[in-house]
Copies of this chain bind each other. A is one copy, B any other.
Amino acid sequence: MRDEVEIGMGRTARRAYELDDIEIVPSRRTRTSQDVSMAWQIDAYRFDIPLVTHPTDAVVSPGTAVQIGELGGMGVLNAEGLWARHPNVDDALFRIVRAAEDTDDPTALIRVLQELHAAPIRMDLIGEAIKQIRDSGITVAVRVSPQHAVELTPDLLAAGVEILVVQGTIVSAEHVARDGEPLNLKRFISDLEVPVIAGGVGDYRTAMHLMRTGAAGVIVGYGHSAGVTSTDRVLGIGVPMATAIVDAAAARRDYLDETGGRYAHVIADGGVQVSGDIAKAIACGADAVMLGAPLSAASEAPGQGLYWTSAAAHPSLPRSRVAAGPDCAVDLRTLLFGPSMDADGVVNLFGALRRAMAKTGYSSLKEFQKVGLTIRG
């Protein structure tokens, strides 16, 4: 089927697909789970599972970042979130949780978040948080916004950051605004000695541009999750994830070709609700998935069962709600590796990925990116 649809006279739209629209189809040998490796490596850093956390305070504290690292994933702390602004984050979280319980005033939550994020970023606070992660021995990854990247990065690197994530809701290589001044991402990255992961993007061209800036990884998507983010409702903008991942993987392939061998990782951020979606994202070509809401079900999550992204704190146009995460109360290890006591895909997220790979006969993530797909007719 042609991928361009004429929606009216002289105007076409491209057909695009969400992860929900596709399914993996077994069509070869099966394999035992023990033979499957889920490992991947970005720059010098190797991870046992293709998990990068969405840099939301609802999921990533210095403590959970360490736990996730020890479990094989990459925990990304937000250098502009609550840990960067408040000496007593527990109090801030308490206010958020209490506002969520105030059912009389549905706007209370967003107002509290907006207020908490109006406090200034303090380098001493974020430095302390980074030190806590670094001391554990795991890889230290933090996120900055394009707006504050230039200002914050030197101190962050000095504090020991090993992977820098430059992430805004929608990022481009041509023009990333900083107080009206464009951030030249290419120059910014070439000046750094640590690998940079940048995004999110939604199309081939922007993914390609970001790869050409030297980014070690490109984030695809805006972290949208059902019931939480509303980019489509608010802005009319949408990035159907299956198509966006496939396109970014095409950019990765073309960039690999034009550079004669540089491999830019594709990290899928959005549309993942249950373990089956992780398998689908890898199947579409992602090297790793960025998880937010699915991790908010962990008993260790700072959000205590609530989930939001930083877009919820926007002072005039919030594009994320605070919502209850998936309902379960297990620790992070169980959430990632089981055992599960239900068949809803909420627990044993990466045990399920391993099994999906085994059931379709693949032993590595890179091979699994070629598994057969169907789409509901």
Contacts of A134-175 to chain B: CB distance below 8 A: 169-172, 174-175
Whether B233 and A275, one on each chain, are in contact in the complex, defined by CB atoms closer than 8 angstroms, is: yes
Given A30-B177, A206-B27, A343-B234, A22–B8 Cβ distance below 8 Å? no
Contacts of A295-339 to chain B: CB distance below 8 A: 311-312, 315-321, 338-339
Contacts of A1-31 to chain B: CB distance below 8 A: 1-18, 21-31
Whether B3 and A6, one on each chain, are in contact in the complex, defined by CB atoms closer than 8 angstroms, is: yes
> Which residue on B lies nearest to A309, using beta carbons?
B343
Given A15-B374, A376-B240, A171–B30 Cβ distance below 8 Å? yes
Question: Distance (Å) between the CB of A306 and the closest chain B CB?
Answer: 14
Whether B202 and A170, one on each chain, are in contact in the complex, defined by CB atoms closer than 8 angstroms, is: no
Contact of A343 among B24, B230, B243, B283 (CB under 8 A): B230
Contact of A31 among B175, B253, B348, B374 (CB under 8 A): B175
> Which residue on B lies nearest to A16, using beta carbons?
B374
Contact of A235 among B229, B341, B359 (CB under 8 A): B359
Whether B111 and A31, one on each chain, are in contact in the complex, defined by CB atoms closer than 8 angstroms, is: no
Given A317-B338, A343-B230, A377-B16, A246–B32 Cβ distance below 8 Å? no
Question: Distance (Å) between the CB of A89 and the closest chain B CB?
Answer: 23
Say yes or no: is A284 at the interface (Cβ < 8 Å to chain B): yes
Contact of A361 among B15, B172, B340 (CB under 8 A): B172
Say yes or no: is A342 at the interface (Cβ < 8 Å to chain B): yes
**B residues less than 8 Å from A205 (CB atoms):** 27-28
Say yes or no: is A131 at the interface (Cβ < 8 Å to chain B): no
Bound together, the chains give a CA A10 to CA B284 distance in angstroms of 11
**B residues less than 8 Å from A23 (CB atoms):** 16, 232, 236-240
Most chain B C-beta atoms within 10 Å of own C-beta, residue among A16, A204, A236, A351: A236
Q: How large is the interface on A (under 10, 10 to 19, 20 to 34, 35 or more residues)?
A: 35 or more
> Which residue on B lies nearest to A250, using beta carbons?
B9
Whether A21 and B377, one on each chain, are in contact in the complex, defined by CB atoms closer than 8 angstroms, is: yes
Say yes or no: is A360 at the interface (Cβ < 8 Å to chain B): yes
Contact of A34 among B34, B180, B202, B352 (CB under 8 A): B180
Question: Distance (Å) between the CB of A14 and the closest chain B CB?
Answer: 5
> Which residue on B lies nearest to A27, using beta carbons?
B203
> Which residue on B lies nearest to A315, using beta carbons?
B339
Contacts of A342-372 to chain B: CB distance below 8 A: 342-345, 348, 351-352, 355-356, 359-361, 372
**B residues less than 8 Å from A204 (CB atoms):** 9
Contact of A342 among B110, B340, B352 (CB under 8 A): B110
Given A249-B11, A343-B229, A30–B176 Cβ distance below 8 Å? yes
Contact of A274 among B3, B233, B276, B277 (CB under 8 A): B233
Contact of A246 among B10, B312, B343, B351 (CB under 8 A): B10
**B residues less than 8 Å from A340 (CB atoms):** 316-318
Q: Can you list 12 A-B pairs, Cβ within 8 angstroms, ordered by A?
A: A1-B1, A1-B6, A7-B375, A8-B247, A11-B249, A13-B22, A16-B375, A25-B238, A30-B172, A106-B342, A233-B345, A240-B377
